[in-house]
Structure 1
Amino acid sequence: MVEKKTGNLQSLSNKLDELSRQKETDERSESRKPEVVLFFSFDIANSTSYKTVNYYGWAQVLNLLFKELRENVKKQINSSEMWRVLGDEAIFIVKIRDEEELREYVNKVFKIMLETIYKLKKGEFFESNENFNMMKLQNILSLKAAAWIASVTDVGDISDATVLKNDADNIFERYQSHEGYEIFEFLGNDIDTGFRISKQTQDGRMVLSYELAYLISQKTESLSYLHIVTYRKLKGVWKDRLYPIIWYHDPKAYLEFYKKELHLKESFTFDACDESELIRDYYDNHEPSEKEKIIRDDRMYTDPYYALNKILHDRELASKIDKLQQLIKEATYDRTKYINTELMQVHCVAVCYREFKGQIQILVAKRQANREKHKGAWEFGCAKAVIDKSIAQKIKEEYEQDFNIKIEPVLDESREIKEPIPIALYQVPHTSHLNDVEKKDKGIITLAEIIDDYDPDSFEPSEKHEKVQWVTESDLPNIKTMYKECVPDFEQTLRDAFGKIEILFMEKKRNEYNAE
């Protein structure tokens, strides 16, 4: 009987182990769910000729040009990241959360290209440095752009056997070349296609991949911005079968710089056909010509809606488009970065408080239900430290951005470098994992006094938080009931904060009394 019980216990233990392993596998699989990523690149046109004429100093000009592009992209598309710079080409990425957002980003990329070209042509770019005067006179630089889309699976460690079993169209891998330095790589057919189509554009033009063009074409206005230039065989793309070369052109984007709309043909120079084979192809394919076209159906050039849907059917791409649309539809808000060069981040929580009618109130915020971590949990908000700003400054900026609130962190006035006084330290899982090894970011919890009249009822829900409200010390006995979903140590943080704040008020009153 004892042996039978022992055997049953062993069998139960084995089943529990198996369930645990299955759970870990499922969690890894969930973390590797594909995400739709927009890739876009800016390539400096005429750079070879410019380098020849300006043998000394061209590197400084190109470096500053890339810097301005990075800053402009960050300003216009704040969730984007720079992936890499290859020669004279800078490549950026951004996760996509809905199709309207996708159309908006594509249009912004086009406008960034136009704005940069305008500054180069008008000489505004060179005015920042008097040493650029000669290079300004000899300036022939311009810009060209490309954009493509891909469903990307973050595989972590490609040597993991479970990764090889996953049906991943394109993958993102990070690996460590030496201690403290990571390399980030995107691989896959759609990534390769992007590099192929980026060669099918030119000065002042922006080319799109077929999948990207199809997705944005679902809105009539965006469809009108699509122009099929020609069809070409691109090495390794669609088994070397004809691929549409599609240019994106928004006539209204020229209003800001040229005070008028410019349609595609109007934007060509008078000698464009002499300078560009692609533009020659465009005219030959869109107007009566004795030259034999590679595709005889004129609608494949002149009617983008017809052409995109014809290609969808003939190339059997419907399931791929459906998958992209479904992934975009299911996407959740996620602030994690692909290109995370920080081995550790410092999270800075400020417990914001005020005195109201003789009572201390602490502001708490409910996270949105679609957040990656602590979905719908109550917290105190959070900022992240950066290299070029003090912790106090960064806390003030991020809390004003997140809650439209003005605060003053409680600083250690006894020290020469005045930074917030920590009331607690904590750890959180790092947002980037290398080879599935768990890393921990560090966090500090501080106090910050609210210095303006703040009404939680005026708070407008954001991507981060659903709502905010006050907590008083009298609420502490019922905290677990009132705030069932909350971040770790929520109650303890409140208790510690109320205690510290009372001490601060006592010291303040004592100092005021002594001053009298």
Structure 2
Amino acid sequence: MVEKMPGAVKMVEDMGKQLQSISNEIDKLSQKNEIEEERAIKKDVVLFFSFDVVNSTSYKTVNYYGWAQVLNLLFKELREEVCNKIKGSEMWRVLGDEAIFIIKIRDEDELREYINKVFKIMVSTIYKLKKGEFFNSDNNFNLMKLQNILSLKTAAWIAAVNDVGDISNKRILQEDVDNIFERYQSQEGYEIFEFLGNDIDTGFRIATQTQDGRMVLGYDLAYLISQKTESLSYLHIITYKKLKGVWKDKLYPVIWYHDPKAYLEFYKKEIQLQDSFTFDASDESELIKEYYENRDIYKTGKTIHDVRMYTEVYFALNKILQDRGLAEKIDNLQQLIKDAIFDHARYIDPELMQVHCVAVCFKRDEAGIKILVAQRQETRERHRGQWEFGCAKAVIDKSIAQRIKEEYKQDFNIDIEPVIDVNREIQEPIPIALYQIDHTNCMNRTCKKDKGIITLAKIIGDYKLEDFKMTSKHKKVQWVEESDLANIKSIFEKQVPDFEQTLKKSFEVIKSL
């Protein structure tokens, strides 16, 4: 019998522990990669809505010179209205005389609210055009005001969208993906943003089934908002059409959205759908002609004979759900909306790199130097719940110092004065450190890096912690004194990278000022 040496036994045991440790680390990395991949291909429910200029061709003919300026101002006003009324929305593109916007959906009530706001924006803009208010500017539009025939029509639809990132990713190719978002780099420093898929195509098809002063909705969208009684009353089935490439060329409902109360502000009364039609609307519009004919119980030759498919919207939507086998799709959309997590990541991000500007805000009192730190909300896309110093983003038309003061006032209700290098002709904050982070829209593609500078800013006035009001970015703030540095990891368990080092450096520089 060979006797085992104690040293050899211990060596084998140590090797076993090392192998087990390596195996555990590999498992952790594998799980992390799976989580990242799952996050990378997670679907978002996106609302698409468009404003199309009516009679633009005729307007261009009458106003041969200057019409481009008018349309440009119209799209600018629409963009501002949408951004002000529907926070978080983005303009995807302008196609000819049509502007298309998008926004991620996080709640079904939110979805109903957005649709109502889109309709009201359409109504208010048409009113301004018809009354000539749109032309009341510094520009010489008097002649074009007299010759104004412009109006708007609107469409809205939804789609479950995958941000695919790298389309060559094998897992992406294996996924059951109906609609995708992709970025194409056309040349160095420029990107093209594109949505592709069945529901995107359907949206463009249904957009042809609207007209001056009307808003058409896709079926999926109409079904979701119909679950609330008030929203259901705003839905009107005009007719049924075969739309090329939609539902295998089977009949599709043309559904108009109409809120009578949207007219109160401008016309001092509610206007029902039928009351909004002109007396000769059936002669001017095939869609309105079909609207009346479909409700005539004595009319022969109709494609659909059950009048309830026109007059009882709730019945019709559920009948379509059953007959077209759409229950699973609707359930999936509702679940995606229910599971959605709010984030600030945007689809249309023309900036290939951002410059982040961190200001370490401080004050001096009888107790010494105090630095203000803030805890990020758990809903943030990155560094959830971690402690940081706040951040502003540089913009082209403002100085870094001005931008920092504005954004910190907005985020923390605080007045600050950045520490400036007064010896330089261009007076900007003195950087005490530099850093870089992954770009906001980095998913599973090769990631771009945003750059950041860390500066100091003196707090103006007697700022108190209770002056802070919780926002979507931060949930609370706290003071840090130099004596806290010894226990900083236990005081602030969750920290952004270089949090402790930034505090130490800041105290050193502040004392030397």
The answer to whether the superposition gives a TM-score over 0.5 is yes
The partner residue of 1:416 within 409, 413, 425 is 425
What's the secondary structure of 1:128's corresponding residue?
coil
What's the secondary structure of 1:230's corresponding residue?
strand
The partner residue of 1:484 within 446, 470, 493 is 493
1:390 match: 399
Instruction: Report the residue type matching 2:412 in the other structure.
Output: F
Q: Distance in 1 between matches of 2:227 and 2:41?
A: 29
What's the secondary structure of 1:294's corresponding residue?
coil
What's the secondary structure of 2:455's corresponding residue?
strand
Q: Distance in 1 between matches of 2:20 and 2:408?
A: 54
The partner residue of 1:181 within 171, 190, 198 is 190
Cα deviation digits, residues 332-370 of structure 1 (max 9, x gap):
121111111111001111112223444322221111112
Q: Where do 1:106-255 residues align within 5 Å?
A: 106-255=115-264
- Change beyond 3 A, Cα 1:457–1:175: same
Q: Distance in 2 between matches of 1:291 and 1:412?
A: 84
Whether contact under 8 Å (1:51, 1:58) holds in the other structure is yes
1:497 match: 506
Q: Distance in 2 between matches of 1:19 and 1:376?
A: 22
What's the secondary structure of 2:209's corresponding residue?
coil
The partner residue of 2:317 within 308, 311, 324 is 308
Of stretches 163-172 and 446-455 in structure 1, the one that deviates more from structure 2 is 446-455
Q: Distance in 2 between matches of 1:51 and 1:13?
A: 71
Instruction: Report the residue type matching 1:465 in the other structure.
Output: H
Of stretches 458-467 and 228-237 in structure 1, the one that deviates more from structure 2 is 458-467
Asked if residue 401 in structure 1 is aligned to residue 410 in structure 2, the reply is yes
1:436 positional shift:
1.0
Of stretches 460-469 and 9-18 in structure 1, the one that deviates more from structure 2 is 9-18
1:32 match: 41
Q: Distance in 2 between matches of 1:306 and 1:172?
A: 34
2:270 match: 261
Instruction: Report the residue type matching 1:224 in the other structure.
Output: S
The partner residue of 1:99 within 82, 94, 108 is 108
Cα deviation digits, residues 164-216 of structure 1 (max 9, x gap):
11111210011112222111110110000100011111111111111111111
Whether contact under 8 Å (1:66, 1:90) holds in the other structure is yes
Q: Distance in 2 between matches of 1:144 and 1:33?
A: 33
Q: Structure 2: which 5+ residue stretches go unaligned?
A: 1-10
Q: Distance in 2 between matches of 1:400 and 1:248?
A: 40
2:52 match: 43
1:392 positional shift:
1.7
Whether contact under 8 Å (1:284, 1:291) holds in the other structure is no
Instruction: Report the residue type matching 2:337 in the other structure.
Output: I
Instruction: Report the residue type matching 1:359 in the other structure.
Output: G
2:386 match: 377
1:503 positional shift:
2.7
Instruction: Report the residue type matching 2:282 in the other structure.
Output: C
What's the secondary structure of 2:252's corresponding residue?
strand
1:75 match: 84
Whether contact under 8 Å (2:44, 2:161) holds in the other structure is yes
Instruction: Report the residue type matching 2:326 in the other structure.
Output: L
- Change beyond 3 A, Cα 1:262–1:238: same
1:508 match: none
Whether contact under 8 Å (1:174, 1:434) holds in the other structure is no
The partner residue of 1:283 within 276, 292, 296 is 292
Whether contact under 8 Å (1:157, 1:175) holds in the other structure is no
Q: Distance in 1 between matches of 2:415 and 2:353?
A: 28
Q: Distance in 1 between matches of 2:223 and 2:352?
A: 38
Whether contact under 8 Å (1:34, 1:168) holds in the other structure is no
Q: Distance in 2 between matches of 1:490 and 1:304?
A: 57
Of stretches 122-131 and 251-260 in structure 1, the one that deviates more from structure 2 is 122-131
Q: Where do 1:356-367 residues align within 5 Å?
A: 356-367=365-376
Whether contact under 8 Å (2:40, 2:444) holds in the other structure is no
Whether contact under 8 Å (1:366, 1:379) holds in the other structure is yes
Q: Distance in 1 between matches of 2:17 and 2:495?
A: 40
Of stretches 42-51 and 249-258 in structure 1, the one that deviates more from structure 2 is 249-258
Q: CA RMSD in A?
A: 2.4
1:416 positional shift:
2.4
Whether contact under 8 Å (1:333, 1:463) holds in the other structure is no
1:16 positional shift:
7.2
What's the secondary structure of 1:334's corresponding residue?
coil
Q: Distance in 2 between matches of 1:31 and 1:294?
A: 45
Whether contact under 8 Å (1:40, 1:92) holds in the other structure is yes
Instruction: Report the residue type matching 2:385 in the other structure.
Output: G
Q: Where do 1:320-359 residues align within 5 Å?
A: 320-359=329-368
- Change beyond 3 A, Cα 1:297–1:357: farther
1:486 positional shift:
0.8
Q: Distance in 2 between matches of 1:381 and 1:8?
A: 43
Q: Distance in 2 between matches of 1:92 and 1:260?
A: 30
Q: Distance in 1 between matches of 2:357 and 2:280?
A: 58
Whether contact under 8 Å (2:386, 2:496) holds in the other structure is yes
Q: Distance in 1 between matches of 2:100 and 2:503?
A: 45
Asked if residue 272 in structure 1 is aligned to residue 281 in structure 2, the reply is yes
Cα deviation digits, residues 434-480 of structure 1 (max 9, x gap):
87112110011112222244332353332211211222222111110
Q: Structure 1: which 5+ residue stretches go unaligned?
A: 505-516
1:510 match: none
Instruction: Report the residue type matching 1:170 in the other structure.
Output: N
Q: Distance in 1 between matches of 2:443 and 2:227?
A: 38
Cα deviation digits, residues 222-274 of structure 1 (max 9, x gap):
11111111111111111111111111111111112222211111222222222
Instruction: Report the residue type matching 2:473 in the other structure.
Output: K
Instruction: Report the residue type matching 1:154 in the other structure.
Output: D
Q: Distance in 1 between matches of 2:374 and 2:299?
A: 69
Corresponding pairs, count: 502
Q: Where do 1:3-18 residues align within 5 Å?
A: none
- Change beyond 3 A, Cα 1:286–1:405: farther
- Change beyond 3 A, Cα 1:223–1:455: farther
Identity in percent = 70
Whether contact under 8 Å (2:40, 2:443) holds in the other structure is no
Whether contact under 8 Å (1:422, 1:445) holds in the other structure is yes
